[in-house]
Each structure stands twice: as structure tokens, then as C-alpha cells.
Structure 1
Amino acid sequence: MMNKITGHYSQSYDDELNEAVDRLLTMGALVEQQLRDAIKAFIKGDRDLALEVIQTDRTVNTQEIGIEEHCLEIIARRQPAARDLRLIVGVLKSINDVERIGDQAEHIAKQLLDEDCQRPTEAQLEDIEMMGDKVLQMLQQSLSAFKEMDAALALAVLKQDKLVDHDYGRILRHNLTYMLEDTRQITRGLHLIWVARALERIGDHAQNICEFSIFIAKGQNVSHLSEEEVEAVVDKGRK
């Protein structure tokens, strides 16, 4: 249950704002499952599941359009200000990132369906699975931070991105080395790099959602601030 928005001049306005957040979270849950399925399909070599991931993308796109229309209607009818306006802007920006996470999940699934895709080794799949688990956790927690408007949780998720970047760099270096040593590894290596790159991008989009959560909660855009500066914004006003 999200931290419900209350206290406006009409119950219907409260309901409209809550619906915007609820619909974002519903879309986020669908994309989270889409990503989970994409990683599982690639790890297990499950082509049928990969096709399901791709088919889900149309539903995600439809949800994005519906939420955007709902938010624009709120702006036109209610003329929100202050925190309400930040909330609507945060939802509008976040649905774009959630939709792009769905696109990256689709990209992962398509790597498996490529006829030239060679099955990775067990060690290579373990690397992808480990990175995927971290990214899934980031996505889950970023949506939780938005749900609760929890700036402290959002900050904690932002700090996790360094681990994802480290995994991506390691997978990239290892596969480039294999490809240079044995040209037969080029196709396999490229698919693994593309999957790792998709996961790294998903981590970035989860970061963006967290930054919007902090923007809503604290009233300050932190997208271009250093980690220390973001910490100062989050800590401001704490007792």
C-alpha cells in the first residue's frame, strides 16, 4: 500500500493523484516481471519465454500512453502547484524510464532469439545472472522509494549503481579478451556484451526514478549533483 495522498480541496483530486502513482507502480511491476523473464530466458535458453517478453512490450507502451494522458489531464484541470506539480512531473518522467527499461528487457530477449547466438559458458551465464540480480534489486527498490516517497531509500539505491557499473566493466573486459584471443568467440562475446550493456542501462534508468523520488520529497532536482551533494539534500530537514 502506497503512502496515500490526502488533504486536498476535493476527494476527487486526491483520487486522481493517487491513481497517477498507482498506475506508474502497476506499469513498474509489469516491467519488473518482463525484466525478470528476459534474464531467465537468456540464462535458460528459453526461446518461448523470450517471445513472451517481446510481446509484453506492447502492453507497456499502451500503459505509458494512458498514464501520460491522465497526468496531462490533471495539469489541465487542476493546475497543480508545489509538491503536487513535482509529483505529476515525477510520474511523467518516471514512466519514460520504466518504458525504456522494458525496451532493454526486450533487447535482452532478442539476443537469445538471434539465430547466430551461441550459448555462453556456465561461468559467463553466472556473470550475467549475478549482474541481473543486482539490477532487479535496484529496480524493485527504486519503485518502492517512489511508492513511499522515501528519499533515504532512493539515495541507497543510487549508491548501488557503482556495483552494476563494476560488473559491466568486468564482463566487457573479459569478453573483449576472449574475442581477441579466439575469433570464434566474437559472436558469443558480442551478445554477452550487449546483454550486459542493457542491464547497465536499466540500472541508469532505475537511478533516474530514484532522483525523481528525491525531487518530489525534497523539492530539489538532484540529477546533476555529486553523491555527497545528494546526501546533503536528503539529510536536510532530518531530525
Structure 2
Amino acid sequence: MDITSDIHSQHISRQFNHELEELKTHLMAMGGLVEKQVQDAVSALLDADSSLAERVVDNDRAVNDMQIKIDDECTRVLARRQPAASDLRLVLAVIRAASDLERIGDEASKIARNAIDLIENNVGNRGFVEVRIIGEHVRRMMRDALTSFARFDTELALQVVQEDEQVDSEYQTAMRSLMTFMMEDARSISPVLGIMWILRALERVGDHANNLAEYVVYLVKGLDIRHTDPDDLDQELGEKS
């Protein structure tokens, strides 16, 4: 059943409505923090700002705390309300989304730690263009995935899913370029490896943003598209609606 025909405002209990809205609100707050973590981690590298990178590492604890709080709230809703249909899908989607956001926070922390090492060793800016491009792309995916969750917007969610393939392509192109550079200059191996780890972390951020978008489709349509080819999504969703 499409969630738009089973909207939460129809509950007899106004408190239940409030609890479900609180889950969404807290998830969006966590998403905002995590998006800023990714932005700050990339900016720390590009601007050679070690202090900013250290703040990203320190803030990872706050991300973890938010996930724990959201999980506790979801557990209470499941135990007290025993939700069904779209309400149950919403709670499950929030649990899954919070887990992916926590992992994005971990990737931001990895980027920041590598940035600190690269800044301290004054290694130049090889690979920075790739980091900037892919960093901006995955941040946009994150923002769109969170917006689609807030609005129950499956069209926007599907755009995020399709963009993940573009990020994967950009990542592979960047890795080939950096591998070639390392082969030509052995002295560059250590710093370029640091950049490669950062690019890998950004690619993983894109994967998690893709997961967030898939949860939106599950939430709204009750359809699991995790193993569906992106080219087949329109047809499958058309059959489901």
C-alpha cells in the first residue's frame, strides 16, 4: 500500500502521531550533522585546516549518540504501539537510515584523519580536484536522499539511486589516474595512497546515500529495490503503484 493513502495523521492517538513525527525530526537532525561532517572533512583537506579536521573527528561521538537515541526511540515505539503497515515501515526505515548515517559519520572521520596526516606532511595537492568533485557529488546525493525521506518523494529518491552509478564511475576514473601517477613517480606513493583512502571513503558515502534513497522507496511503496538494476526501476515501480 502506498503510504500516501495511509497517512499518519489518521491515527486515533495524537501522541502516536507525535512520536512518529519525532522520529523523522530526529533523523533529519542527525542527517544535517552528518552532512556537515562530510563537508567539513573535505574542506579541512582542501584548505589545509587541521583544526577543522580535528573537530570532525571529535564530533563523531555526537553522531554515535544521536544514533543510539534514535534506536531507543524506535524500540519504544515498536514495544508500546506495535505499529503495522506504513507505520511499521516508517520505524524500520528510520532504524536503517540512522545506521547508514552513522556509517557516513565514520567515513567523514576517516577522511578527517587522513587529511590531518596529509596536512602535517605537506604533500601538495595531487588528487584534490578529484576529491572536490566527488565530495560535492556525494554531498548532493546525501542532501537529496534526506529531502526525499522528509517529503516521501520517490522520484527524488530514484534520482539519487541513479546518481550512485555516476559516482562509482568518477571514483574509478580518479583511481586509475592516481595509479598512473604513482607508477610514474615513486615518491608520490605515500601521499597519493592517502588521497585514495579519502576517495574510497567518499565513494562509500555515496553508497550509504543510495541506501537512504532505497529506504524511501521501501517506506512509500513497500518495495525492496536493493537488488534491482537501476535501469529496471521505473518499470518495477510502475507495476507496484
What's the TM-score once normalised by structure 2's chain length?
0.93
2:12 is aligned to: 9
Alignment-mate amino acid for residue 186 of structure 1: I
Aligned CA distance change for structure 1 residues 235 and 153 (closer, same or farther; 3 Å): farther
- Any runs of at least 4 consecutive aligned residues in structure 1 with deviations exceeding 6 A, and if so which? none
Match of residue 133, structure 1, among 111, 132, 136: 136
Give, in whole Å, the separation in 1 of the partners of 2:25 and 2:89.
16
Gaps of 5+ in 2: none
Give, in whole Å, the separation in 1 of the partners of 2:66 and 2:239.
35
Aligned length: 235
Give, in whole Å, the separation in 1 of the partners of 2:16 and 2:8.
9
Contact 1:151 1:234 in 2 (8 A): no
1:180 is aligned to: 183
Match of residue 45, structure 1, among 37, 43, 48: 48
The C-alpha deviation readout for 1:143-199, integer Å capped at 9, x for no partner, is 001111111110011111122111111111111111112110101110111010000
Give, in whole Å, the separation in 1 of the partners of 2:94 and 2:110.
24
Q: Per-residue deviation at 1:59?
A: 0.4
Greater RCO (Cα-Cα under 8 Å, separation 6 or more)? 2
Is 1:114 matched with 2:117?
Answer: yes
Match of residue 76, structure 1, among 79, 89, 92: 79
Alignment-mate amino acid for residue 123 of structure 2: R
Q: Percent identity?
A: 36
Give, in whole Å, the separation in 1 of the partners of 2:163 and 2:107.
19
Give, in whole Å, the separation in 2 of the partners of 1:143 and 1:155.
12
What's the TM-score once normalised by structure 1's chain length?
0.94
Q: Per-residue deviation at 1:236?
A: 4.3
Is 1:55 matched with 2:46?
Answer: no
Gaps of 5+ in 1: none
Q: Per-residue deviation at 1:233?
A: 3.4
Q: SS of the residue aligned with 1:225? A: coil
RMSD across aligned positions (CA)? 1.6
Q: Tell which deviates more after alignment, 219-228 or 143-152.
A: 219-228
Q: SS of the residue aligned with 2:217? A: helix
Contact 1:118 1:188 in 2 (8 A): no
2:146 is aligned to: 143
Give, in whole Å, the separation in 2 of the partners of 1:60 and 1:187.
30
Match of residue 154, structure 1, among 124, 142, 157: 157
Give, in whole Å, the separation in 2 of the partners of 1:177 and 1:147.
43
Aligned CA distance change for structure 1 residues 190 and 82 (closer, same or farther; 3 Å): same
Give, in whole Å, the separation in 2 of the partners of 1:229 and 1:79.
34
Q: Tell which deviates more after alignment, 206-215 or 223-232.
A: 223-232
The C-alpha deviation readout for 1:99-152, integer Å capped at 9, x for no partner, is 00010001000002227744343x621221011110110000000011111111
Contact 1:117 1:187 in 2 (8 A): no
